[in-house]
């Protein structure tokens, strides 16, 4: 039965870190649109701020992010100047000094920054936004380039959560994905973080990597559990060489098939839950005392471009080349490459390349998809009442889900959709039934499992 399901449903669907998804953004949303949206924000709106650092010192072949390989610090220093200028540009457009409840640095690798960069940017943010002791300040960290002094600088800047990229502890797999990172290196950095008071630690692991087996995944998951991170993200490798040409360096013939990917995910999931972690949505696991577990239990879990989050801020402002922001009015994405980003900021203009203005149906479907992705269940009648639409709105979608219900992936009781334990690895496919844009355009997505 497992083989039958993985063969039948291992299709290409979005990850639903937004709705509509990024391939459907358009150039009808530009810099002036963004300026207008910023000016319309109510002054008491809590903000989440995201900062993209698009630099690494070498390319990991599995990476799906926008990044640039650099061997010198000069380009990073110049980028920092532009990033600080963008912060001023955005803050000047806001109708007041807004409270920033969540700050997140991603990449690329923020570890490319120097300690003085952290002092500069935190000082700038505190001058332009209300950053308090309660604000969550999170940084993605590459253990291969982090030092103890660097970790101390993060702590001094107020960082209170770190996300550690691991992907795999297996030597052979590390070579196959061009990320050599011994277990001892990761363990040492986690020790430095805890010694510095940064005790909220996330860890990224992957399954579906070249030559990876279920036994390998079990061994790697045991090592992850030994380090006891507060959260584990168990991502399925998304092989999209048509979007990221460096993925062509990975031997496609060595990638596990859908059935093997399913076994790997289920094996790691069982190990994590047996170790006391709570399963969160599609692919996250959190210790019971972590705020993500509390958000799940309280019905307050959300999903954005960083994945699952306890961040409830209604607006997220993105800074840096290619960064994506989300406001009540819609989505915006900054330009890339770096030259275009730098030149646009230099002219005093918002560096918006594209976006999406949300309509009523978009907001309706976004709520449905987010609840499926986060809670693995949704009461369609309640969502329809909330949005003041007919309870018959989703009759076609329920018909789409009927074959999945027959195969045990979901249960359909009245107008409530609930993902089963068997269906959890396929939750993106279940959410896709409510995507009005999925069949339009030429976007290609990653595998459902």
pLDDT in tens, 162-180: 999 999 999 999 999 999 9
Query: 147 and 73, same structural domain?
Result: yes
Query: 274 and 155, same structural domain?
Result: yes
Domain-embedded: residue 1: no
Domain-embedded: residue 173: yes
Q: Tell me how many domains the chain contains.
A: 2
Tokens standing for residue 448 = 């459902």
Instruction: Quote the pTM value.
Output: 0.93
Q: Identify the pLDDT of residue 202.
A: 97
Handedness of CA 144, 149, 153, 154 (dihedral sign): positive
Query: 244 and 380, same structural domain?
Result: no
Query: 313 and 366, same structural domain?
Result: no
Query: 175 and 78, same structural domain?
Result: yes
Per mean pLDDT, which range of 136-140, 218-222, 289-293, 424-428 is the poorest?
424-428
Q: Identify the pLDDT of residue 242.
A: 82
Domain-embedded: residue 30: yes
Q: Identify the pLDDT of residue 441.
A: 44
Q: How confident is the model at residue 306 (pLDDT cuts 50, 70, 90)?
A: confident
Closest CA to 327 of 47, 44, 31, 14: 47
Residue that is written with structure tokens 């039965």 in the block = 1
Tokens standing for residue 425 = 């690895």
Burial class for 24, CB neighbours closer than 10 Å (0-12, 13-18, 19+): buried
Burial class for 148, CB neighbours closer than 10 Å (0-12, 13-18, 19+): middle
Domain residues for the domain of 424 are 360-435
Domain-embedded: residue 53: yes
Rounded distance between C-alpha atoms, residue 51 and residue 319, angstroms? 5
Share of the chain above pLDDT 70, in %: 97
Q: Is the model's pLDDT at 443 over the cut of 80? A: no
What CATH number does residue 164 fall under?
3.20.20.70
**317-353 tens-digit pLDDT:** 999 999 999 999 999 999 999 999 999 999 999 999 9
DSSP-derived letter for residue 181 is -
7-34 average pLDDT score: 90
Q: Indicate the average pLDDT of the chain.
A: 93
Rounded distance between C-alpha atoms, residue 185 and residue 410, angstroms? 42
Q: How confident is the model at residue 65 (pLDDT cuts 50, 70, 90)?
A: confident
Residue that is written with structure tokens 């003041």 in the block = 388
Query: 302 and 392, same structural domain?
Result: no
Exposure string for 81-103, b = 16+ CB within 10 A, e = fewer: ebbbebbebbbeebeeebbbbbb
**375-431 tens-digit pLDDT:** 999 999 999 999 999 999 999 999 999 999 999 999 999 999 999 998 998 999 999
Domain-embedded: residue 338: no
What CATH number does residue 418 fall under?
1.10.10.920
**199-223 tens-digit pLDDT:** 999 999 999 999 999 999 999 999 9
Handedness of CA 192, 195, 196, 201 (dihedral sign): positive
DSSP-derived letter for residue 171 is H
Q: How confident is the model at residue 446 (pLDDT cuts 50, 70, 90)?
A: low
Residue that is written with structure tokens 């959190």 in the block = 286
Q: Of 304, 319, 334, at which residue does a domain stop?
A: 319
Q: Identify the pLDDT of residue 1.
A: 42
Query: 405 and 309, same structural domain?
Result: no
Rounded distance between C-alpha atoms, residue 280 and residue 100, angstroms? 25
Domain-embedded: residue 152: yes
33-39 average pLDDT score: 98
Query: 295 and 395, same structural domain?
Result: no
Distances (CA, A) of 45 to 125, 127, 302: 17, 18, 17
Rounded distance between C-alpha atoms, residue 217 and residue 115, angstroms? 35
Query: 272 and 148, same structural domain?
Result: yes
Please report which helix (H) or strand (E) contains residue 278, including its range. Answer: strand 278-280
Q: How confident is the model at residue 57 (pLDDT cuts 50, 70, 90)?
A: confident
Q: Identify the pLDDT of residue 61.
A: 87
Q: Identify the pLDDT of residue 164.
A: 96
Q: Of 287, 319, 351, at which residue does a domain stop?
A: 319
**196 vs 9 pLDDT, higher one:** 196
Query: 310 and 369, same structural domain?
Result: no
Query: 390 and 249, same structural domain?
Result: no
Query: 365 and 313, same structural domain?
Result: no
């Amino acid at each position: 039965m497992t083989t039958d399901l993985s063969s039948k449903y291992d299709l290409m669907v979005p990850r639903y870190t937004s709705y509509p998804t990024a391939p459907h953004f358009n150039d009808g949303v530009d810099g002036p649109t963004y300026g207008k949206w910023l000016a319309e924000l109510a002054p008491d709106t809590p903000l989440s701020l995201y900062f993209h650092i698009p630099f690494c010192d070498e390319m990991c072949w599995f990476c799906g992010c926008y990044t640039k390989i650099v061997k010198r610090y000069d380009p990073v220093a110049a980028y920092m100047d532009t990033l600080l200028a963008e912060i001023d540009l955005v803050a000047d457009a806001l109708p007041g000094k807004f409270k920033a409840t969540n700050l997140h640095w991603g990449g690329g690798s923020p570890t490319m920054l120097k300690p003085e960069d952290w002092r500069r940017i935190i000082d700038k943010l505190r001058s332009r936004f209300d950053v308090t002791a309660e604000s969550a300040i999170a940084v993605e960290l590459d253990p291969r380039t982090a030092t103890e002094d660097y970790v101390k600088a993060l702590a001094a800047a107020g960082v209170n959560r770190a996300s550690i990229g691991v992907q795999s502890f297996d030597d052979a797999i590390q070579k196959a994905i061009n990320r050599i990172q011994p277990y001892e290196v990761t363990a040492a950095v986690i020790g430095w973080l805890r010694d510095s008071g940064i005790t909220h630690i996330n860890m990224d692991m992957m399954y579906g990597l070249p030559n990876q087996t279920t036994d390998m995944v079990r061994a790697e998951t045991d090592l992850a559990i030994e380090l006891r991170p507060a959260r584990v993200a168990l991502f399925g490798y998304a092989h999209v060489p048509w979007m990221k040409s460096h993925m062509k360096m990975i031997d496609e013939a060595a990638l596990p098939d859908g059935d093997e990917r399913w076994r790997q995910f289920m094996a790691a999931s069982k190990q994590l839950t047996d170790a006391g972690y709570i399963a969160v949505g599609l692919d996250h696991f959190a210790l019971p005392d972590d705020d993500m577990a509390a958000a799940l239990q309280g019905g307050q879990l959300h999903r954005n471009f960083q994945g699952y989050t306890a961040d409830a801020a209604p607006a997220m402002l993105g800074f840096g080349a290619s960064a994506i922001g989300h406001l009540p009015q819609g989505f915006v994405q900054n330009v890339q490459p770096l030259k275009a980003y730098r030149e646009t900021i230099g002219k005093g203009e918002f560096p918006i390349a594209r976006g999406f203005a949300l309509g009523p149906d978009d907001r309706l479907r976004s709520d449905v998809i987010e609840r499926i992705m986060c809670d693995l269940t949704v009461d369609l009648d309640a969502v329809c009442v909330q949005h003041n639409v007919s309870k018959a709105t989703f009759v076609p979608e329920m018909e789409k889900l009927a074959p999945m219900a027959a195969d045990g992936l979901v249960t359909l009781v009245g107008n409530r959709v609930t993902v089963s334990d068997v269906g959890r690895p396929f939750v993106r496919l279940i959410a896709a039934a409510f995507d009005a844009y999925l069949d339009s355009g030429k976007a290609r997505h990653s595998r459902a499992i």
